[in-house]
Amino acid sequence: MASGDDDALVLVDPRTGGVVGDLACTPVAAVVSQVAAARVAGALWAARPLLDRMAVVRALGTALLARGSDLVAVLGAEIGKPSGEAWTSEVVTLGELFDHWLAVIEDELEPRSLDLNPVNYPGKRVEVVPEPLGVVALIMPWNYPIHLPMRTIVPALLAGNAVVFKPSEHAARCGALLAEVFATVLPPNLVVTVQGGPPQGAAVIAAGVDKVIFTGSVAGGRAVARQAAELLIPTALELGSKDAAIVLHDAKLGRAVEGVLWGAFHNAGQDCASVERALVDRRIVGQFTDALVARAKELRLGDDIGPLIDARAVAKVHAQVLDAVARGATLLCGGQPVEGGFFYPATVLTGVPTDCPLWTEETFGPVLPIAAFDGEDQAVAMADDSQYGLCVSVWTRDVARGEALARRVRCGVSYVNNCCFSGPMGGASWGGRKHSGHGVTGSVFGLHGLVQPRTVVVDRFFGQKELWWYPYTPALTTMAEGLVELARSGGARFTGLRKMLGGLIGRWKT
């Protein structure tokens, strides 16, 4: 963490809490020139044929996967991410991400031609062409410091954009390693890495980028949105959540327990898609709770659950737990910070009041409150009783019923008998509702946010005038009335055709 705008970042190992070094911030004053350099590089890049861009991006994917062990090592040293989690959630997913976009990008960037009425528009051709925005800014978090930026960088580059990438100050080494790989494959300045904290992020926006994609807290998202709005820069904001798992009475209990356990505690709960509320049918809530608590007690700190990112995160999580217990909640396991590093054990509670922070605010830690519901309508109401709306999961043997129920919850991603794993998929959209933000990453809908459509109209008709040009005559009115009559549902088609042809003939005579 830096104390001043241009001070060095102090690097801390969250597994021990010890300082392990520092890393220079990008001077705030230098950001304008870096964005300008990215814009020049982007213009050259956009002018290259798509097949050329694809070849370079394919080489980038190969280079990143070749450094898989290095990526896992830095994820462990900087974030404390367990090795198995780092490989599966950050490295394996890279290969899938590149494969998806390289397979679909030619079709997705194909111009769309309009089917025009040859009578109304003789000799004309209209197509909508997707063009790159220019310079896309990424202000990224620390919890998934490899796959989250790459989820946007890959399609952004393929679409012809340059990228300005600001890693989190808590993931500076991960950002530096990505930058090192970028430099071996990409043209200079096509992806510019800006190191630092909020001052550097604000400087990136102020430098006049063409879009800002931000992932982080609601407070951070508001600050980014305010600044970008002043400059009329569009944004996509992926913010917090308080995702619910709904466990129906007919769920396969063993799978539901294991799935919710992983959904709540993977990445030490530091995932906007984490299960932060388990809503369980009252008929099985006792059985489910007992089984989940038994499994939570078996999770190993360091091997299964990594540390939280810093001491402030530990304090926030613990404060929510203490507040809930003080207000009547029952602590079933965990609930106490561990000496040495920033570890917090898997924690499960019941009887959490629905107006306390542990139930209403994002915890971003390995804590799971469990509550019972009576009937599906109540389950949906409880899931929706939140300022957030990112994900929901429904657990049931009746898949059709589960899908119908999951679609009723107001959120961006619905799972049936699974949770939390679709974010890295290039073809799956990722975005929330309410305070979980707006805009989309991933899928063709995310790609739409990385291009600017241009409508191109080409006219090969060389007549003296168009039908709708001056002068406005009674014949023009008659022709227009006929066209409307032909177009409207239930219209008098013979009358419409007679008017349209009569007006057309009269129009050409004049």
DSSP string, 345-388: --EEEES--TTSHHHHS---SSEEEEEEESSHHHHHHHHHSSSE
Kindly report the number of other CB atoms within 10 A of residue 273's CB atom: 22
User: 423: helix, coil or strand?
Assistant: coil
Q: What's residue 463's pLDDT?
A: 82
pLDDT of residue 468: 87
Quote the CA–CA distance of 100 and 106 in Å, as a whole number: 11
Strand-strand pairing, 124-132 and 451-459: antiparallel
Which of 3.50.30.30, 1.10.486.10, 3.40.605.10, 1.20.210.10 would CATH assign to domain 45-239+444-453? Answer: 3.40.605.10
pLDDT at 3: 46
> In whole angstroms, what is the distance from residue 252 CA to residue 11 CA?
44
* pLDDT reported for residue 492: 85
* Strand-strand pairing, 211-215 and 162-166: unpaired
Based on the residue annotation, tell me whether 25 is a catalytic residue of this protein.
no
Per the structure block, which two tokens stand in for 308? 């939280």
Domain ranges of the chain: 45-239+444-453, 243-424, 464-509
* Annotation marks residue 238 as catalytic: yes
Q: Classify 243-424 by CATH class.
A: alpha beta
Q: How close are the terminal C-alpha atoms of the chain, in Å?
A: 76
Among left, alpha and beta (phi > 0; psi -120 to 50; other), residue 334 is left
Of the listed 25, 78, 174, 272, which one is catalytic?
Answer: 272
From the list 85, 90, 238, 362, the catalytic residue is 238
In this structure, the number of other CB atoms found within 10 A of the CB of residue 238 comes to 27
Contact 500, 477 (CB under 8 A): no
Strands lying side by side in the sheet with 243-247: 330-333, 347-350, 367-373, 275-281, 243-247, 391-395, 413-416
pLDDT along the chain (510 residues), means of 10: 72 95 96 98 98 98 98 97 96 96 98 90 95 98 97 98 98 98 98 97 98 97 98 97 98 98 98 97 98 98 97 98 98 95 98 98 98 98 98 98 98 98 94 96 96 96 87 93 89 88 86
Q: Give the residue from 340, 294, 343, 339 showing the smallest Cα distance to 317.
A: 343
DSSP 300: P
Q: State the residue for tokens 């409508």.
A: 455
In terms of Cβ atoms closer than 10 Å to its own Cβ (0-12, 13-18, 19+), residue 153 is: buried
Q: What is the pLDDT of residue 377?
A: 98
Q: What is 144-177 written as a DSSP string?
A: STTHHHHHHHHHHHHTT-EEEEE--GGGHHHHHH
Phi, psi of 150 (to 5 degrees): -65, -25
